[in-house]
A and B are shown apart, each in its own frame.
Chain A
Amino acid sequence: MTDQAQLLPGTLDLLILKAVSLGPLHGYGVLLRIGQISGKALLIEQGALYPALFRLVRQGLLKASWGTSENNRRAKFYELTTAGRKRLREETEGWNRLATAIGSALAAQPEEV
């Protein structure tokens, strides 16, 4: 637990979009998928997931429908809308640019200045 990193503000939405882009998921499923794709390196407060899901639905980036979970529970499944897919692409690019910039900034050596 101790080596898990705190999420940066605003990154939870991006992670949810990414998780759902790999196939429709219910809330708990999103949590598991994020854990899986991040190598369990990110700490997510479980309850905080739901306000974010509802917000994304309201923004029209996700759509929700009721279905049955793998162990036969009624569950709400989320999937990406077209707008959601577009937003994920943009955000991913943005994030990559930022990460590259920060990464190269932090990798700078004295002689390069």
Chain B
Amino acid sequence: MKLLAYFRSLAAKLLHRSEFDEEVEEELRTHIQSRTDDLERSGLGRAEAERRARIEFGAQERFKEEIQDAAGGNFIDTLMQDLRVSLRALRKSPGFLTVAVLTLALGIGANAVVFSVINAFILHPLNVPDAESLYQLERGKDKAGNYSYPDYLDLRDRNRSFDGLAAYDIAGAGLDTGKNPSRVWVIAATGNYFDTLCIQPYLGQFFHASDERGPNSAPYIVLSYEYWHTHFQDDRGVVGRVVQLNKRPFTILGVAPPEFHGVLMFFHPDMFAPLVNAEQIEGVTDLNVRAKRWLFMVMGHLKPGVTRAQALADLNSIGSHLEKTYPKEDGDMKFALARPSFYGDYLGPAVQAFLTGLLLLAGLILLAACANLGSLFAVRAADSSREVALRLALGSSRRRILRQVFTEAVLISLMGGAVGLWGSVLLLRALSVWQPFARWPIHVPVNPDATVYLVALFLALVSGFLFGAVPVRQILRTNAYEIVKLGSTGTVRQKITARDLLLVVQIAICAVLVTSSMVAVRGLVRSLRNNFGFDPQNAMLIDTDLGMSGYKIDNFPEMQKRMIDALQAIPGVESVGLADQVPLGDGPNGASIFNDKTVDLRPANAAADSFVFSISPDYFRADGVALLSGRTFTWHDDQKAPRVAVVNQEFARRIFGSVTNAIGGYYKMRDREHPQDADRIHVVGVVEDGKYASLTEKPTPAMFLPLSQARTGSTWLVVRSRRDPLQLGPAIRSTVRDLDAGLPIYIQTRYKELDTILFGARMATMALGVLGVMGAMLAITGIFGMAAYSVSKRLRELGIRIALGAERKQVLQAALGRALKLLALGSAAGLLLGILASRVLAFIVYSATPRDPLVLAGVVLAMSFLGLLATWIPAQRALSVDPLILLREE
């Protein structure tokens, strides 16, 4: 209650502030008038008496301030007074206010966004209990995360360091709840998955280790909260309901809690099902093949008191035992522990490096924003130096004036912080609901929390004090007497100051960003016109998995042939090809290849690693891959026929030395369907090299096997047409439905599929673009501040020059020469640095090269445009100086 009373009295005091000021005013007036009366009575004239009375009274301004301190006395009162003065001052210069607030909003907004992302992904690791002790197992030099089921069982049962080890795989499956069959993303998890992670069900129950009684013994699913919410409308009656997963009955056991999305940060699965049913879920025929490393991740909590080093020693001793016992299957089994949230060392370090880089850039942007605001403040201080001098002369203390300046600075910084935070919250909200890929359940869940708001507030205050400090020296050095007498005089600065240096650095950074974003854009445009080794134009892509509709491996080729034939019959279709994966699609499979003479097919003896594709005879024609030599397949290359392959140039060169040697040659690899067997494969054809997994990859060996000899339910159909491929969509859909209404399919253009591959490059380009624009805006305010400062300092000099008949060109030279010189210097440095930095870009954006006349011209043009934009207003001011008015005023 006491506090309430205090605030009420404070509010009253604030509201009646002007009344208080008036009373003080009146009291002092009464004093001076009474004194005047007395002096008049002693014989002085009224005017002289009044003058004497004022002199005797002393500096009114100072005493008013002291009264203020003595009466209200407290900090908040003075603050409020300063705030009111600041608001009044700012309202008088809306242009300055807008520029300042926007500049800061940019700086603080950028930091808030980056910090939110870091906060969500790194500071708050994972939404599972005891996330600190949860690790995934990585293996070998490549830090591989995938394991075979038997290896997983050995690790789980032999280790003494983990509170249970769980494993899972990610699979797409067809779910039929009685309505349209749709594709869902399933986490096929070991029975101990939920118990190991210590997750409790939101509804119903979970499956447990005790449910695992051999292959296909546990036909249960657990829905994710999101899927339950969107597809079952929060129906609590779903528990116990039987649904069709890949045409097999599965019972819904329960619903996972809302905050649990598995252990991957970006990937939100639709449901969870027991791994022992992997044959039904994803067509894994034999769980017990040790060479088939299909489990996506193995993870667990370290037991309390067990260090990472102890756990690793434990795992490595199991690993060396496995290496010795199964030399043919198990290669390098040296372990490492990593965080599962970004799939360990596969993504983790990259994400961290990326975020650290962003944080650094955001910090730089804020610093540049502060520097700019500092110079804008200096301009204001210079413009108001007469006022400051007057106040000083009237007895106001320098402390008070500085306090006023800081209040103004902090006020602006808080406004900028609020605007920036608001913008960043909008942006983050959009990011949270954004799904970059229609086919994948990828989310970027970032929700700013109290920490983010606090950090933004802190940044705002710090930057306020930072740029508020810039004009301090100027004010402290103000010589009231000189300025009031002479007017503000600008001494022409010739030496290079820290502020100049800062501006050059800032322009250079801006130029780097502009250069690299232009390089990235050009690279992106060019990479889309490049030769991928296939033709993405005029083709549709259909993707499905026969396993989702309950087909068995023996039926795959037959059904696939029926699909090809049916699609071929659609009018306008030129050719139809089928492959288990397409180049630049989801990511092709890999395999070790061995020379024909190698007998022991252990991983260490491999001659090379190659991508593997299973394709139909017409695939090359449909996807526009050029056959350079030899033949492609026919439907007669089946199970009974000798094993054959078509390889690419790089494969031919690496294994056989040349394309001509390759035709008719043999090599060995593990059988695709039965990895324990070795196949001796006859090369019958060679195709051109292509891009398979990424646009930036070097030429990589690839082999193509006939569908019937490497059977798989994974089905991608390329339909090439003479018409606009999009028009084929409905016909394709109805054709497939006629063949099997229960098969979920996904249709898009071949070109659109590249979105996934280009995602990184596009994101990098976009990020650079945004940063480039920010950098440009900051450079503009920076140059503007500098130019405006030099013009306002030298207004008198410019007026005299004009009066003496100087040409416009000379005036501009005098007013803006320095700013433009700095601009040129910064741009040149930035362009050079940008060209160097662009080499790094080439890793992300395919065919990004700075040695491009268009880019160089573009950068020079952009920087000159920025310079023009920033100096326009100061130039106008300099040119419109009217010497007569100016000289009369002074």
Q: List residues of A whose CB falls within 8 A of some B CB.
A: 26-28, 31, 45-48, 50-52, 54-55, 57-58, 69, 71, 73-76
Distance of A23 Cα from B262 Cα, bound (Å)? 84
Q: Which residue of A lies closest to B56 (CB)?
A: A46
Residue B31 interfacial (CB < 8 Å): yes
CB pair B70 A75 closer than 8 Å: no
Q: B458 in the interface, Cβ–Cβ < 8 Å?
A: no
Contact B27 A75 (CB under 8 A): yes
Partner among A28, A48, A54 whose Cβ is within 8 Å of the Cβ of B30: A28
Which residue from B37, B58, B69 sits with its C-beta under 8 Å from A45? B58
- Least CB distance from B17 to A in Å reads 15
* Complex contacts, A73 vs chain B, CB 8 Å: 30, 33-34
CA distance A71 to B30 in the complex (A): 11
B19-53 residues with Cβ-Cβ distance < 8 A to A are: 23-24, 26-28, 30-31, 33-35, 37
Closest residue of chain A to B62 (Cβ to Cβ) is: A47
A-facing residues in B293-344 (Cβ within 8 Å):
none
CB pair A51 B30 closer than 8 Å: no
Residue B60 lies at the interface, judged by CB distance under 8 Å to chain A: yes
Cα of A27 to Cα of B57 in the assembled complex, Å: 12
Cβ–Cβ < 8 Å partners of A71 in chain B: 34, 37
Main SS at interface, chain B: helix
**Is B59 positioned at the interface, with any CB of A under 8 Å from its CB?**
yes
Q: List 6 A-B contacts (CB under 8 A).
A: A47-B60, A47-B62, A48-B63, A51-B63, A51-B67, A73-B30
Q: How far is the CA of A61 from the CA of B878 in the complex (A)?
A: 59
A75-B63 in contact (CB<8A): no
Cβ-neighbour of A51 out of B56, B57, B70 (below 8 A): B70
Pick from B33, B63, B73: contact of A58, CB under 8 Å = B73
User: Chain A contact residues: over half helix, strand or loop, or mixed?
Assistant: helix
| Known contacts A47-B58, A76-B27; A58 and B34 CB within 8 A of each other | no
Cα–Cα distance between A48 and B70 once the two chains are bound (Å): 11
CB within 8 Å for A58 and B31 given contacts A46-B58, A47-B62, A71-B37? no
B31 touches A46 (CB 8 A): yes
Quick one: given A47-B58, A47-B59, A47-B62, are A27 and B31 in contact (CB under 8 Å)? yes
Question: Which B residues are in CB contact (< 8 Å) with A51?
Answer: 63, 66-67, 69-70
A2 to chain B: closest CB distance in Å? 16
Chain A: minimal CB distance from B99 (Å)? 40
Instruction: List, in ascending order, chain B residues with CB within 8 A of A26's CB.
Output: 30
| B353 in the interface (beta carbon within 8 A) | no
Contact with A along B53-84 (1 / 0, CB 8 A): 00011111011001101110100000000000
Q: Closest CB-CB distance, A43 to chain B, in whole Å?
A: 11
A28, B70: Cβ atoms closer than 8 Å: no
Which residues in A have their C-beta under 8 angstroms from that of B60?
Answer: 47
- Tell me if A46 and B35 are in contact (CB < 8 A): yes
Supposing A46-B56, A51-B67, A54-B70 touch, asked if A74 and B26 sit within 8 A by C-beta, the answer is: yes
Q: Count chain B residues whose beta carbon lies closer than 8 angstroms to a beta carbon of A.
A: 24
> Which residues of B from 222 to 280 have beta carbons under 8 Å from A?
none
How distant is A46 from chain B, measured CB to nearest CB, in Å? 5
Chain B residues lying within 8 Å of A27, measured Cβ to Cβ, are 27, 30-31
- A69–B30 Cα distance when bound, in Å, is 9
B70 contact set on A, CB distance < 8 A: 51-52, 54-55, 58
Contact yes or no, A54 B71, CB < 8 A: yes
Docked pose: A46 CA to B36 CA in angstroms = 13
Residues of chain B contacted by A50 (CB below 8 angstroms): 24, 27-28, 31, 63, 66-67
A28-B31, A47-B58, A48-B58 known; 5 new pairs, CB 8 Å cut-off, are A28-B35, A45-B58, A46-B57, A46-B58, A71-B34
Residues of chain B within 8 A of A54, CB atoms compared: 67, 70-71
Residues of chain A within 8 A (CB-CB) of B57 are 46-47
* Nearest A residue to B58, CB-CB: A47
Q: Which residues of chain A come closer than 8 Å to B37, judged between CB atoms? A: 71
In the assembled complex, the Cα of A71 lies from the Cα of B38 at a distance in Å of 11
Contacts of A47 in B (CB 8 A): 28, 57-60, 62-63
Assembly CA distance A46 to B27 (angstroms): 13
In angstroms, Cα B62 to Cα A50, docked, is 11
Quote the shortest CB–CB distance from A103 to chain B (angstroms). Answer: 33
By beta carbon, the residue of chain A nearest B73 is A58
Chain A nearest CB from B76 CB (Å) reads 15
Cα distance, A58 to B28, chains bound together (Å): 18
Residues of A within 8 A of B69 (CB): 51
Q: Which 3 A-B residue pairs are closest in the complex by CB-CB distance?
A: A47-B58, A51-B66, A47-B63
Q: Which residue in chain A gives the minimum CB-CB distance to B23?
A: A76
Which partner residue on chain B sits nearest A30 by CB separation? B31
Across the interface, which residues of A come within 8 angstroms of B73, CB to CB?
55, 58
A69 engages B34 (CB within 8 Å): yes
The residue on A at minimum CB distance from B395 is A47
Which residues of A lie under 8 Å from residue B28 when comparing CB positions? Answer: 47, 50
**A58 touching B71 in the complex, CB below 8 Å, given contacts A26-B30, A47-B63, A73-B30:** yes
A55–B23 CA distance with the chains assembled, in angstroms: 16
Residues in B neighbouring A74, C-beta threshold 8 A: 26, 30
Candidate in B58, B66, B70, B73 with the most chain A CB atoms within 10 angstroms: B70
Chain A min CB distance to B466 (Å): 34
Residues of A within 8 A of B31 (CB): 27-28, 31, 46, 50
Closest to A27 in B: B31
Q: Beta-carbon contacts of B2-26 to A below 8 Å, as 1s and 0s?
A: 0000000000000000000001101
* Closest residue of B by beta carbon distance from A73: B30
B393 vs chain A, min Cβ distance (A): 15
Measured CA separation A46–B33 after assembly (Å): 13
A25 to chain B, nearest CB (A): 12
